[in-house]
Copies of this chain bind each other. A is one copy, B any other.
């Protein structure tokens, strides 16, 4: 039905899945890569970097913001986005621990 039965899962499973879901689009990966490379802050040179319309980019930025992966501060008329350091670190650990769960199975 396109709707996920969220009530059936643990908090951690939902956290992990939601994090991955936010990262699950190349435009959002591209935005993050850009922010990682470009000293952390930027507004909308993205329209020049990623081949999507401004509103579409705005939507992707919203998804990333809701996931806490970036934060945007108002800077006059424009918004300056940067990596959300704290959440980024949490996400890094979350993924790291997930992938690290594979140890000594046969």
Contact = CB atoms under 8 A, between A and B. Distances in A.
Interface of A: 4-6, 8-10, 13-14, 16-18, 20-30, 32-33, 36-37, 39-40, 50-52, 82-83, 85, 88, 91-92, 95-96, 98-102, 105-106
When all copies of this chain in the complex are counted, the total is: 2
14 contacts: A4-B25, A4-B26, A8-B27, A10-B30, A13-B30, A13-B33, A14-B26, A17-B29, A21-B21, A24-B24, A40-B105, A40-B106, A92-B100, A95-B95
Contacts of A9: 26-27, 29-30
A62 B29 CA distance: 24
B13 A29 contact: yes
